[in-house]
Structure 1
């Protein structure tokens, strides 16, 4: 009887556990995560990933250590602009579009706001990164 109760308690304790994605090796910040980097581990931690499609192709924002669950703030889309890249600065209002060359002062992915320098005027501006790698200035 005691063995059956112990088995039921263990079974009930494990029923809330879910498979969570963990790295199989240390993944350094700025590295893109591949399918070979991931494995499942049965742990009960809220706010972690269980679907590999949500993680594969993302970039590590911090170092991810083997066996530790991956949290949403640990990863993000890969950067398309690196610090000191030559980029196009674009300003558009109505039908007017002004483009000039600039240099990025940070790194980021599509949709993020970063600082850049207008190479013609040496003015520092902030803008949102477009999918084509240019920066939209507002």
Structure 2
């Protein structure tokens, strides 16, 4: 009786794994592309580590090229970059209630909350800062 019950449970579990949905790319998607529903197709295939729901990845940015028929995994996507390499950014310094805002040039691509290297245009000093929601970079002391 217990053996039959376990066999039934294992069969149900395996059927659920086999029926799992997986997201695949419809076309070749270049790095740094914001994903849309048109880029994705859902297939009834179980691929470990792959996304299953399009709403999980729509609006995210690809970190590398994704090819047609390839499952989309968490390492393939991330939050969209707010700061691009060689782009101008606003640097914000805050010390003892004093706020200084100046222009800088980003030395790398970064998303919200990422630490990014930025060259202060006025002093040519390279500083580290955290990307803010508005695309500015907050420099800590």
> What is the TM-score with the length of structure 1 in the denominator?
0.86
Match among 28, 32, 35 for residue 34 of structure 2 = 32
- CA shift digits 1:34-77 (9 cap, x unpaired): 10111112222222111111111111101111111111111011
Name 2:87's counterpart in structure 1.
85
Is 1:117 aligned to 2:119, yes or no? yes
For 2:133 and 2:13, locate their aligned partners in 1 and report how far apart those are by CA, in whole Å.
48
- CA shift digits 1:82-128 (9 cap, x unpaired): 11111111112342211111111111111111111011111011111
Q: Structure 1: 5+ residue runs without aligned partners?
A: 1-9
CA RMSD between the two structures:
1.7
**Moved segments of 4+, more than 3 Å:** 10-15
